[in-house]
Amino acid sequence: QVQVVQSGAEVKKPGASVKVSCKASGYTFIDYYIHWVRQAPGQGLEWLGWINPNSSRANSLEKFQGRVTLTRDTSISTVFLEVTRLRSDDTAIYYCARDDSASGSSLEFWGQGTLVSVSS
């Protein structure tokens, strides 16, 4: 069965960087896009970006460009989200989610979420 499992919670200081991993299993890793979404405490969902694990091409929201990097390692079926120059308003649960098609359709299989806390 399809599973996406994320790395554990992180506590960071403002200005630091964080790298969250998302390991996929149960399907052919390179066949489906993976999205990243975050949810600040008590707030709604915010789409951050997505990566094509086959080509490694990624796209992120303009507001995050320069601070967010999406990468993948096909040898371990894992994608990574790195956020640099962290600010307190980056405190959120970060989710990865596998798309349900090879071309982009919807976020079908979600990871359990990774809490990133940014505090001095």
Partner 1 sequence: QSALTQPASVSGSPGQSITISCTGTSRDVESYHLVSWYQQHPGKAPKLIIYEVTNRPSGVSNRFSASKSGNTASLTISGLQAEDEADYYCCSYAGRSWVFGGGTKLAVL
Residues that bind partner 1 (CB under 8 A): 35, 37, 44-47, 49-50, 59, 61, 95, 97, 100, 104-108, 110-113
CB of 5 to partner 1, least distance (A): 12
- Helix or strand (DSSP H, E) at 108: strand 107-110
Nearer to partner 1, 75 or 103 (CB): 103
CA gap 83, 74 in Å, rounded:
21
Tell me how far apart the terminal alpha carbons of the chain are, to the nearest angstrom. 41
CB of 73 to partner 1, least distance (A): 23
Nearer to partner 1, 3 or 74 (CB): 3
CA gap 98, 87 in Å, rounded:
27
Nearer to partner 1, 1 or 120 (CB): 1
CB of 96 to partner 1, least distance (A): 10
Nearer to partner 1, 15 or 104 (CB): 104
CB of 15 to partner 1, least distance (A): 27
Structure tokens at 61: 């929201």
Amino acid symbol at 89: D
CA gap 119, 10 in Å, rounded:
11
